[in-house]
Structure 1
């Protein structure tokens, strides 16, 4: 495996495999064989006419002997179909690989990682930010950060950042922002994206507006972001609303329209439509009182918290524990008096 990961070109490695490894390929550990084939495949040029046939040939030899090893090769075949823009074949091969993984029940992490990485690449190709975000995070869950080259970490972090902004069902960036891969953006040309993500995660509208001015050229150079300015502004307002709800004590979540207006920048007439969207997107649950111009929130979508948000939660718990102690003291004092009576 060390030789395969050397500085030899993909063509040289392919010749080495054909002239040497192929003579005893089925006599070595099948999963290791699959990893070797995948590593060689990834070294071949994107327009190589040898890539898919090479992987397919070994897959055919392994398919009846080891389902787990052949599965990782089928995933690599799907990747080649994606490179060829044959989306139908790519999706079919990935579906077959997923069925095999589900049937086996347990497979090596490298197989799961290969599946989620290839599937997320497919989702990026068809422009599905919601599913891409979910599956790329699953890839990271199965892949140790030290095994990902730094340049690739930056690419992953950037793609996840863009997807988290554009996804219309993604209103919690915590899991991504706490992953070490996001640190690769700091100090890079894409550090502006990290700052945008932090503003969104905190529901910081004023900070977001300042970033729009400061990084106007970066936004304008990204058509996907530039064309969705209205969507992004509403999204940060919704996240601001969620942050407001989170900051409220659990027993006092009656929020007036005026408070929502003040923190989101919405006019009073625009507050109720914003609240209705938050309810429709299942970001919060509650009841709007149109007479009192307020909303009672009974539930908010769970979030992965950063340190600052954990500190807020800690303070809320301290207050709650204080109230519990007060109630206990009251019952100990007055409860005994009622028993005597």
Structure 2
């Protein structure tokens, strides 16, 4: 991946002629800007034009890789190294995995072997910009190797990157964090650790400033929702339901299943699991039994959450009436013990009286409907406090006479 020995202006003229038939005057104008800024050695402004006016323009796709190889690499050590990697990643969008791996490895070697890497007096380590760039490239290489099927190699790279991140005493750039969490989530998905996939995916989303710039939004939200359903420690879907990316979930039955479980809606739940469409995601279709258990837990959580805090003692019969799929008291007790072990709630089981007293329930991220229900409960509570206040004011008058 070495730039040709052509003059930068010649390269830009050639590429400009290639895109002129598209009629995109903004992109053509940006190419003139690049030539001017390159001649004046205004590297920061040059990288900004590349970022905002060229690489974000869809019409630049046919020339991106040529532009990177024959122009950007000419001043690769003059601009922010993370931007340099970003330009390469955008240039490789239409390349196959083997090509991506080759280009990423070549750029890693170029940065790593650069002779002007600075050293700090205290730690004797490379400049922060270089460290972050190499870490970014390692994670991206791990992601490509994972997609190529080299799972062990990718896992080893991610493990090494994790150790390096733990040693870093400054805040990493969000582009690196996003790449790490996304790649780690992909690796954990292959290992079947859906709970970890879900949390890593949420951390990935937290690193994305603008969802409009996120590629494959529909596939990403599909994987997150599937991992939420299959995660053995995920019993609150409020985080993903309330996230902006949820609007990009275009699989109707999957959205209905998530919403049904979160709200404890048995009718909607049974409609989905009885539908042949569920076979579109084999992992979900083969875990219907687990989902039924999760539905029981969500229904019990809903029952406790919606009950007044001063009255949270529940008879087994009342639980069986509200929670689906329970056939006898033994199953009720098993469900309660499961909830206690998952730390979803705390309480005391009274086998003699066949009842349970719930003293605490895990805080949860609420949807707008749940917030509205909470508001109504607070209004009722406020009215009771007001009535008590008026009663005390009236009854207390005689004491002060």
- TM-score relative to the length of structure 2: 0.75
In the alignment, which of 148, 163, 183 is matched to residue 214 of structure 2? 148
Alignment partner, residue 191 of structure 1? 252
**2:236 is equivalent to residue 179 of structure 1:** no
The whole-number CA distance in structure 2 between the counterparts of 1:50 and 1:220 is 37
The 5-angstrom pairing of residues 155-304 of structure 1 reads 155-185=219-249, 188=250, 190-213=251-274, 215=275, 217-265=276-324, 266-269=326-329, 270-304=331-365
Higher alpha-carbon deviation: 263-272 or 293-302: 263-272
Please state whether the residue corresponding to 2:97 is helix, strand or coil: coil
Is residue 51–residue 80 contact of structure 1 (8 Å, CA) maintained in 2?
A: no
Is residue 55–residue 76 contact of structure 1 (8 Å, CA) maintained in 2?
A: no
The whole-number CA distance in structure 2 between the counterparts of 1:192 and 1:183 is 14
The whole-number CA distance in structure 2 between the counterparts of 1:204 and 1:279 is 22
Please state whether the residue corresponding to 1:170 is helix, strand or coil: coil
The whole-number CA distance in structure 2 between the counterparts of 1:28 and 1:61 is 17
Alignment partner, residue 124 of structure 1? 189
The whole-number CA distance in structure 2 between the counterparts of 1:61 and 1:18 is 18
Alignment partner, residue 326 of structure 1? 387
The whole-number CA distance in structure 1 between the counterparts of 2:102 and 2:65 is 9
Please state whether the residue corresponding to 1:27 is helix, strand or coil: coil
**2:170 is equivalent to residue 105 of structure 1:** yes
Gapped runs of 5+ residues in structure 1? none
Higher alpha-carbon deviation: 70-79 or 281-290: 70-79
Alignment partner, residue 112 of structure 2? 60
CA RMSD of aligned residues (A): 2.5
Please state whether the residue corresponding to 1:258 is helix, strand or coil: helix
Q: CA deviation at 1:181?
A: 1.4
Report the CA distance shift for 1:125/1:42 in structure 2 as closer, same or farther (over 3 A): farther
Alignment partner, residue 155 of structure 2? 91
Please state whether the residue corresponding to 1:106 is helix, strand or coil: coil
Report the CA distance shift for 1:95/1:55 in structure 2 as closer, same or farther (over 3 A): farther
Structure index of larger Rg: 2
Gapped runs of 5+ residues in structure 2? 1-50, 118-125
